[in-house]
Chain A
């Protein structure tokens, strides 16, 4: 069975077409997942960075992303109890809370956002890309599910470049282990032309995604590239890259964003459109999901828009020019994995954030450091100082967690943000005086 194509028309509900479309897509996807035991569709679990959605589609596999499930649990305020459940079962309080949220959810019956039980995966595609924890996470899942586990290693871009040895290693893994095992699990023969078709569609949606993210350069920015950005990346980072649904979604979104630019409007927030853009920020690090709205409100209440963020690059750095390429299908999947944000060296991350500050004419950098994420967090204090030094713009550091509500202290975060905005003001007036 193919994924359903949901039809929302931009004409009838111009303002919200993309949002409605995305909701429908997500709902249909979760239905497809939870119905898999009845429909007989097979399920592959995998990760957002290094997500090989096009390849999974070649084998009619339904893509289940535990990270996205953890986000859903966070947004629905269930992750806290899941994490505690996992800790009661012997998991350390020190480790990545995504893993514990996932494991706790599994222990509590694995109920998905649609209230139905998520299926057991038929295969775990351990795409080891940009995060060491992935490796342990899927070893833990394998211990439970005892299903075939495919390991794909993405070498780290430590020296800021992709070497032929890296590409060759990845392509060999695709040919020798990933594809043959997917064939075996699914019973579907691999057809490279089918992959090419999907990759072509991916590239089309990727063009629109980049266009949308780069509208943050406008003043005012018509988008919030962090809080809003999380919605914008959903389809392409998740189970829809390579589908017509994704193409439609990004086209609708692009039309909406264009309209906001024409009208000179800022981003849409949960409390309606933002009035005045007082601060333009670049944000590094994932958000907090357990108090997502509250967190976002602390920004828009102060007139702060995030014009660019690194988190919206964890599933691909398309704005740096990468597109999935149907003419070089396997190489291009390899390059995709290699390029994701968390697989980039620290100096590359510093370059990217500094460039964003300059290109998006931002007032400064804000780092949301995630307590339980070594991949992102180790080194962020150096990143902060270095970006500050290079751009001359103030930076600030806040600490929360992705999905553990125990580590979101609203008062602390608000205080930090308020003093940060003051710092930006001072910097501005200082500049004014000097000029």
Chain B
């Protein structure tokens, strides 16, 4: 039976709002011995967790619905919000079914959180997952393969069995399909954003952080098909790319507010883990090597990554604007986020050179007041229209 977009989106929204992660709990309970490994932004090779027969569970903080009772006691006011809400999720028992946590090397806050997790939850496996910031095969590549092999050994121990290369290859295949579908959705959204608004696409992709990838693949297919089958009214909105939201997630209301104020968000950096690797990872040969190659040579850019080539700095954003047909860029950065906020002026300089208009504001995952953002975005859209009319 085909489902309508609103039915699919409603399901995804329920998953998004469920801070007890019931779907993942149920997955785990359905079969003896199942394990769940949590991970934080921005990227981990989920294929390895999947290959171990486990569920990778994306933890993106607590959003705007979580009441933070304990988390604030762990952080000063001048530190972003995602670590405190993540601690809240942990301390309040919402992650008590999780068998391990991965903290990718994205910034010093997540880095230090990895150590805090060890202190607070000594009985749960946790690992800071280091990735190379140098991209030569024999240097960064070798290091990364070593780190992935170490992770595999840990996962084998948690799973209680070996993980074969064939299992990893199979997982790569399933995730290749997932990446392909996510890409299809992004392309579709860029072409007909009134059909697949960002606030919906966000929820549909976000569902992939808590569902088994196979199920998510089905869901993505259903949503894309449903979008194509429906006709929705075109609005007089302007196409924009939003950037800076790669870690602490914006409240859903913020994305909706941008849309309400006249923006079609046609590209973004939400939940980059779903799109980090660009294109298919080969399934022939050594799968760990293939994952490292994809990471080194075919992966997204973000503020958390070092750009070795000055000429290339920020070009990913210019390309995103061109490819999505956007007319401007919105820098939405988490308050106190050093990576995003230090990167911002450099990216803005690149955009100035490329003649792309932009605005900037800050948010937190629990920002409630959308009026200023709506006004700023609305004015931006008006000025974009004026420029393009001139």
Contacts and interface: CB of A to CB of B under 8 A. Distances in A.
Between B73, B113, B307, B345, the greatest number of chain A beta carbons within 10 A of the residue's beta carbon is seen for B345
B60 interface: no
Contacts of B46: none
Given A156-B128, A374-B109, A143 B349 contact: yes
Given A133-B338, A158-B115, A380 B138 contact: no
A176 interface: yes
A89 interface: yes
A104 B116 CA distance: 35
A378 B346 contact: no
B76 A369 contact: yes
B114 interface: yes
A30 interface: no
Interface in A138-165: 139-140, 142-143, 146, 149, 151, 153, 155-156, 158-159, 163, 165
A142 B310 contact: yes
A95 B134 CA distance: 25
Contact of A347 (B119, B310, B346, B362): B119
Contact of A143 (B113, B134, B306, B310): B310
The B interface is mostly helix, strand or loop, or mixed, namely: helix
B108 A131 contact: yes
A346 B116 contact: yes
Nearest to B78: A371
Interface residues of A, number: 56
A158 B119 CA distance: 12
Contact of B342 (A89, A95, A146, A386): A95
Contacts of A158: 111, 114-115, 127-128, 130
A378 B108 contact: yes
Contacts of B138: 172, 176
Contacts of B115: 158, 345-349, 379
Nearest to B114: A158
Interface string B294-310: 00000000011011101
Contacts of B354: none
Contact of A165 (B74, B105, B112, B147): B147
Interface string A112-134: 00000000000000101001110
B15 to A, nearest CB: 29
Contacts of B140: 153, 169
B386 to A, nearest CB: 23
Nearest to B303: A136
A185 to B, nearest CB: 15
A374 B134 contact: no
Contacts of B83: 378
Nearest to B349: A143
B189 interface: no
Contacts of A95: 338, 341-342
Contacts of A349: 115
A53 to B, nearest CB: 22
Given A135-B306, A143-B346, A172-B142, A346 B118 contact: yes
B78 A372 contact: yes
A227 B146 CA distance: 42
Contact of B108 (A89, A92, A132): A132
Contacts of A136: 303, 338-339, 342-343
Contacts of B338: 94-96, 132-133, 136, 374
Contacts of A369: 76
B75 interface: yes
Interface string B194-232: 000000000000000000000000000000000000000
Interface in A1-40: none
B4 interface: no
21 contacts: A92-B333, A92-B344, A95-B342, A96-B342, A132-B339, A135-B133, A136-B338, A136-B342, A149-B310, A151-B133, A151-B306, A155-B130, A156-B105, A158-B130, A163-B150, A176-B136, A176-B138, A177-B139, A346-B118, A348-B115, A377-B78
Interface of A: 89-92, 94-96, 99, 126, 128, 131-133, 135-137, 139-140, 142-143, 146, 149, 151, 153, 155-156, 158-159, 163, 165-166, 168-169, 172-173, 176-177, 345-350, 369, 371-372, 374-375, 377-382, 386, 399
Given A89-B345, A158-B130, A374-B79, 7 more contacts: A92-B344, A153-B132, A153-B140, A159-B128, A176-B136, A379-B74, A379-B115
8 residue pairs, one from A and one from B, having the closest CB atoms: A346-B115, A158-B128, A136-B342, A165-B146, A169-B143, A92-B341, A379-B112, A375-B108
